[in-house]
């Protein structure tokens, strides 16, 4: 696998503070807009802020899936919640921190510590987290699946 990759994203302004994001590599088109926290922002549409937080969170998941597979860690489910905190720093808005709250369900209680280590390793190896200056806070939760 080559070390350098490119990912093309196209953007077309539509109206007001709204546009559409697409890629020639993908079939979906996603609306994007200024978030409602800002002047003329539009509610219920993905914003750049949402995309940034989602990029970090989805990178955690995909990195975890690869490391878990390589480590032969069996799990039942993976869900996550992420919270991005936007603040003004030196007069400029910036995403100061992103809190990742993955919930990993495993069936074997004996794998709980190992599962937590794999989640920690996944966050440290996440290329998106490593590409931004926001502080990343990992708050993992390991749940043991109930046997019915």
DSSP result, 60-108:
HHHHHHHHHHHTT---SEEEEEEEEEEEEETTEEEEEEEEEEEEEEES-
The answer on pLDDT for 1 being more than 70 is no
- What was the pLDDT predicted at 104? 98
Looking at residue 75, what is its pLDDT?
97
Local confidence band at 148 (pLDDT 50, 70, 90 cut-offs)? low
pLDDT surpasses 70 at 67: yes
- With tokens 């597979």, the residue in question is 69
Is pLDDT above 90 for 2?
A: no
Taking 90 as the threshold, does the pLDDT of residue 27 lie above it?
Answer: yes
Instruction: State the number of CA atoms in the 13 A half-sphere of 124 facing the CB.
Output: 7
How would you classify the pairing of strands 77-89 and 10-15? Answer: unpaired
> 111-132: per-residue pLDDT in tens?
999 999 999 999 999 999 999 9
Tens of pLDDT, residue by residue over 33-57, are: 999 999 999 999 999 999 999 999 9
Comparing CA positions, the residue from 84, 85, 145 lying closest to residue 115 is: 145
Give the Cα separation of 144 and 148 in Å (integer): 12
User: Two tokens at 64?
Assistant: 């975890």
């Amino acid at each position: 696998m080559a070390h350098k990759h490119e990912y093309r994203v196209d953007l077309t302004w539509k109206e007001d503070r709204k546009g559409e994001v697409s890629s020639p590599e993908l079939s979906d088109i996603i609306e994007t807009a200024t978030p409602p926290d800002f002047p003329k922002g539009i509610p219920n549409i993905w914003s750049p802020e949402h995309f940034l937080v989602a990029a970090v969170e989805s990178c955690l998941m995909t990195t975890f899936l690869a490391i878990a597979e390589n480590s032969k860690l069996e799990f039942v489910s993976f869900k996550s919640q992420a919270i991005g905190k936007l603040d003004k720093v030196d007069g400029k808005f910036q995403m100061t921190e992103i809190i990742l709250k993955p919930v990993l369900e495993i069936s074997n209680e004996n794998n709980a510590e190992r599962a937590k280590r794999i989640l920690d390793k996944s966050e440290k190896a996440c290329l998106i987290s490593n590409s931004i200056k926001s502080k990343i806070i990992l708050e993992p939760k390991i749940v043991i699946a109930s046997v019915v």
